[in-house]
Structure 1
Amino acid sequence: MSDATLNASAMRRGSFASVLPKLAATLLMLVLAAVWLGPLLLIVMTSIKSNAEFLAGPFALPRSPTIQPYIDVWFGLGFGTLLRNSLIYATAGSALAVTLALVPAFALSRMNVPGRKWIFGLLLTGLMLPQQTVLIPLYDTLRTFHLLDTKIGLIIVHGVYGMPLQVLILRGFMTTIPPEIEKAAYVEGATDFQVFWKVILPLSVPGILVGYTLNFIAIWKEFVFGLVFLNSEENFPVTVGMLKLNSDRYLAVFNLPAAGLVISQLPIVILFILTYRQISGGNLSGAVKG
């Protein structure tokens, strides 16, 4: 065998050896994508089947797709009211969380506050508290101020509970703003409030949007607070309202819970699509720096 043939064979083996890790990584990604997407596709397929068709073939493709399960769930559960309530809680609660976090984040990132590291660490302890550990004190507080089973009470709970994460995001984002901009404003005679309101706050809009979006999604998916602090069906968010689908009436029905789940997740999917560039464009990594 000639040297040229041996060299060509060695090059082919080397080329295959270099491509093999990429093929293995691609195969692994495809498997993980199938594992992640499989249940989602199954839920969507179930939601457009009749119950009889689902029982005949749970994993089969729909032969006669129908939107009747969506109609039955929408009017049977009053999904319009549930979605409206969740939108109120997520919108107002996220706005309150961001508003409460703006001043502490500015002070901890741009000002020489004594013991600011300790203060920052104390604020972040809120991220380490599971919801179950604060249910009793929050319940007693809401009952004292007659805010149980009210929309405003749950909004306040979401805002306060979400504030520590917003402080973490906004403080990190504000530390990335060049200090020269701030110094120039002070040279012009600006006060601390003017620097915050006219300089730092406008430059922090990307970080605010990231924090608001993440908090919105968290509140939309939240279940425990709504279940414990609300009793009236007219105040239920969508996560609590869907408990009806677990009643005896729906035990033998599979397409209605699937349709309800799809409807409840659509707003989050739409929000993620609209804010994907903002979140993935580097603003999130900048927002949690420092």
Structure 2
Amino acid sequence: MSDAALDFADSRRALLGFTGRLVGFTLLATLMFIWLGPVLLVVLTSVKSNNDFLAGPFALPTHLTFEPYLKVWFALGFGPLMANSFLYATAGSALAVILALVPAFTLSRLDVPGKKVIFGIILTGLMLPQQTVIIPLYDTLRSLNLLDTRLGLIVVHAAYGMPAQILILRGFMTTIPRDIEKAAYLEGASDLQVFWRVILPLSIPGILVGFTLNFIAIWKEFVFGLVLLNSEANFPVTVGMLKLNSDRYMSVFNLPAAGLVIAQIPIVILFILTYRRISEGNFAGATKG
């Protein structure tokens, strides 16, 4: 093959490679814009005056203002709402993890008759929409005098989140090498001691993953808080956001936007703080044994 033909082939490959990279970059940029566009629009709206927004909803702000944040936080009482959401998410996630630890250990490490059937029954909890259980939950909480209480909502979140925690923890515990627990049994350890001293410490990354995912799910939850709570003092931030959608604020756009931004800040902070540990936990759970 002549030098000219070789140069042409190299140029063709380089052109095809450049075209492929350009198409890939364009597609990636488009997807990022579709995903980030609404987020950026909400953030920009939250730092505009209402007149500035009405003059150009998609334009950059002529001047920044943080008055919507101050008004949402102080005048509309977002502080207690955030505190309630933090309580529900933290306590509900912790209780869900605690309740899931023993079942996950039993289903992953012990030879229990029919454990596959039991595990399948537990997983049906992941397939039930909230709307199908809200009436039984309402009647149960009312009979226990837990309706419109913080404790009642925490218990509901823990029970609803427990199947997902069992799924996560069982999958993680299954990957722990059995040689470790066999050595403990040879030393005379009981099942409880193996669970407490061997499996539980090694499952901390899995526990962190489960807790974080459940925390985010509870923080974003809306239906349970709306139906099972009546007192505004007990509302989570997702239900409290409804006050920003009342007729009083129909023509005000920066306040709901500021409320949305404030409500997402804890989730973003939690993700930043735990992302590395969660990634390490997922990797460890995928490679152990």
Q: Give the TM interval when normalised to the shorter protein.
A: over 0.9
Tell me the C-alpha RMSD between the 2 structures. 1.7
Pairwise CA distance, 1:17:
2.1
2:176 equivalent to 1:208: no
Match of 1:121 in 2: 120
Match of 2:22 in 1: 23
Which TM-score applies when normalising by structure 1? 0.96
Aligned length: 289
Q: Could you tell me how far apart the structure 1 residues matched to 2:123 and 2:55 are?
A: 52
Which TM-score applies when normalising by structure 2? 0.97
Q: Could you tell me how far apart the structure 2 residues matched to 1:214 and 1:282 are?
A: 13
Amino acid at match of 1:176: T
Summarize the alignment of residues 32-111 of structure 1 with structure 2, pairs less than 5 Å apart. 32-111=31-110
Match of 1:8 in 2: 7
Pairwise CA distance, 1:122:
0.4
Q: 1:287 to 1:164 in 2, by over 3 A?
A: farther
What does the per-residue CA deviation read over 1:242-280, in whole Å, with 9 as the maximum and x for residues that have no partner?
100110100000000000000000000000011111223
Q: Could you tell me how far apart the structure 2 residues matched to 1:137 and 1:284 are?
A: 39
Structure 2 contact 46–258 (Cα < 8 Å) conserved: yes
Q: Could you tell me how far apart the structure 2 residues matched to 1:130 and 1:206 are?
A: 28
Match of 1:262 in 2: 261
Q: 1:40 to 1:285 in 2, by over 3 A?
A: farther
Amino acid at match of 1:69: P
Amino acid at match of 2:231: S
Pairwise CA distance, 1:159:
0.1
Q: Could you tell me how far apart the structure 1 residues matched to 2:135 and 2:215 are?
A: 24
2:152 equivalent to 1:153: yes
Amino acid at match of 2:79: G
Structure 1 contact 149–229 (Cα < 8 Å) conserved: yes
Pairwise CA distance, 1:136:
0.5
What does the per-residue CA deviation read over 1:14-47, in whole Å, with 9 as the maximum and x for residues that have no partner?
2322443333222211100011111111111100
Gaps of 5+ in 1: none
Amino acid at match of 1:202: P
Q: 1:150 to 1:62 in 2, by over 3 A?
A: same
Structure 1 contact 77–241 (Cα < 8 Å) conserved: no
Match of 1:167 in 2: 166
SS of corresponding position for 1:149: coil
Structure 2 contact 205–281 (Cα < 8 Å) conserved: no
Gaps of 5+ in 2: none
Q: Could you tell me how far apart the structure 2 residues matched to 1:157 and 1:283 are?
A: 27
What does the per-residue CA deviation read over 1:216-255, in whole Å, with 9 as the maximum and x for residues that have no partner?
0000000000000000000000000010011010000000
Structure 1 contact 210–284 (Cα < 8 Å) conserved: no
